C-alpha cells in the first residue's frame, strides 16, 4: 500500500510539456505498404532536429530489410505526431495537484499485463520509465520489451491529459476575454474528470491511502500466453485494424510482418 505525500504548494500553471521529468513524446507508428506492415511504439525528444527523424527512418528500414517506400510513410507518421505536440508548446498548462487513474492493458509478445494505479500529474519529476522498470521487477517480468511498452502507454495517457489541460486553458482565456468569469479548470479528458483534487480533500498536507477492501481492484494481472493464443490474438487485431475497429490492446511492441496474412474463417 503506497502513500502519496504532498509537499509545498506547486505553481498553478507552467508552459506546456509532458508532466514528467523527461519531456519525451510518445510516438506510435503503424505503416502498411504493399501488404507488408511495420508497427512500433517509442518516445522521442521534441528538441531533436528533424534530420534525426530521417536518419532513424532510413536506419530502421535498412535494419529490418524493409523496402525504401516505407521511409516516407514512417517520416510522415512521426513528423505529424511531433508537429501536433509542438503546436501546444508555449501554451499554459495547469498542474495543480491532481491524482488521476491510469490503466495498462497490453500484450507484448507472450506476456499480457493489466494494471491500474494512481498518478500525480502535478509531479514534474515523475519517471514513467523508472516506474515501468520497477513494476517489471516486482512482477518478475523478464521480457525486455515489456517495460518500454508500459512506459509508452503511461506517457500516452499523460499526454492526453496535458493536451486537454491546454485546451481548457485556451477556452478559459477565450471566455474571460468576453467579459464573463472564466471557469477555474475544465477538461473533456476522461482521466481528468475522474481525478481527485488533493487540495480539496486533504489541504496542503495529506495522503491518499487505499482502503483494504479495495486492494484487489488495484492488483496487477500478468499472464503468459502460448504461441497459439498469440496467433489468434494477432489475427483478431489484424481484422479489427482493417475494419477500423478499436484495437483490443492499447500497446504493442515492434511487430514486423514481411508477408501478407490470409485469414480464413471456417464454420464449425
Q: Taking a C-beta distance cutoff of 8 angstroms, is the pair 120, 97 a contact?
A: yes
pLDDT of residue 11: 60
pTM over 0.75: no
Q: At what angle do helices 70-86 and 50-63 cross, to 10 degrees?
A: 150
- Backbone φ and ψ of 175, nearest 5°: -65, -40
pLDDT of residue 79: 97
* CA 132 from centre of chain: 12
Q: Taking a C-beta distance cutoff of 8 angstroms, is the pair 23, 45 a contact?
A: yes
Q: Which of 19, 10, 12, 13 is nearest to 204 (CA)?
A: 10
User: Which CB contacts under 8 angstroms, 24+ apart, belong to 245-252?
Assistant: 248/107, 249/105, 249/106, 249/107, 250/105, 250/106, 250/153, 250/156, 251/41, 251/104, 251/105, 251/106, 251/108, 251/149, 251/150, 251/152, 251/153, 252/39, 252/41, 252/106, 252/107, 252/108, 252/149
* Cell of residue 71, nine digits: 521511409
Domain spans in the chain, listed from the N-terminal domain onward: 13-223
* Cell of residue 104, nine digits: 495498462
Q: Which of 192, 169, 200, 199 is nearest to 182 (CA)?
A: 169
pLDDT tens track, the chain, 268 positions: 444 444 455 566 788 999 999 999 999 999 999 888 999 999 999 999 999 999 999 999 999 999 999 999 999 999 999 999 999 999 988 876 678 899 999 999 999 999 999 999 888 999 999 999 999 999 999 999 999 999 999 999 999 999 998 988 888 777 777 655 544 444 444 544 544 444 444 444 444 455 666 666 667 888 777 777 666 666 666 666 656 434 333 344 444 343 333 333 333 3
Round to whole Å and give the CA distance between 144 and 152. Answer: 14
Q: How far is CA 64 from CA 54, 57, 239, 252, in A?
A: 16, 11, 24, 17
* Cell of residue 45, nine digits: 525528444
Sorted by sequence, the CB contacts under 8 Å of residue 83 that are 6+ apart come out as none
Amino acid at each position: 500500500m503506497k502513500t502519496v505525500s504532498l509537499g509545498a504548494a506547486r505553481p498553478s500553471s507552467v508552459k506546456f510539456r509532458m508532466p514528467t521529468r523527461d519531456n519525451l513524446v510518445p510516438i506510435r507508428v503503424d505503416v502498411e505498404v504493399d501488404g507488408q506492415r511495420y508497427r512500433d511504439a517509442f518516445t522521442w525528444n521534441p528538441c531533436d532536429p528533424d534530420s534525426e527523424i530521417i536518419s532513424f527512418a532510413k536506419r530502421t528500414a535498412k535494419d529490418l530489410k524493409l523496402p525504401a517506400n516505407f521511409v516516407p510513410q514512417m517520416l510522415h507518421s512521426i513528423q505529424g505526431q511531433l508537429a501536433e505536440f509542438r503546436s501546444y508548446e508555449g501554451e499554459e498548462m495547469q498542474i495543480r495537484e491532481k491524482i488521476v487513474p491510469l490503466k495498462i492493458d497490453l500484450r507484448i509478445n507472450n506476456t499480457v499485463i493489466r494494471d491500474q494505479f494512481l498518478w500525480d500529474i502535478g509531479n514534474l519529476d515523475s519517471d514513467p520509465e523508472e516506474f515501468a522498470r520497477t513494476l517489471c521487477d516486482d512482477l518478475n517480468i523478464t521480457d525486455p520489451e515489456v517495460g518500454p511498452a508500459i512506459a509508452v502507454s503511461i506517457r500516452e495517457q499523460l499526454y492526453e491529459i496535458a493536451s486537454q489541460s491546454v485546451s481548457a486553458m485556451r477556452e478559459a482565456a477565450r471566455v474571460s476575454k468576453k467579459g464573463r468569469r472564466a471557469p477555474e479548470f475544465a477538461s473533456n479528458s476522461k482521466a481528468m474528470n475522474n481525478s481527485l483534487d488533493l487540495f480539496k480533500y486533504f489541504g496542503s498536507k495529506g495522503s491518499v491511502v487505499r482502503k483494504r477492501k479495495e486492494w484487489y481492484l488495484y492488483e496487477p494481472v500478468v499472464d503468459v500466453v502460448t504461441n497459439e493464443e498469440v496467433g489468434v490474438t494477432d489475427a483478431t487485431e489484424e481484422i479489427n485494424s482493417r475494419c477500423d475497429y478499436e484495437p483490443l490492446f492499447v500497446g504493442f511492441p515492434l511487430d514486423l510482418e514481411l508477408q501478407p496474412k490470409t485469414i480464413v474463417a471456417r464454420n464449425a
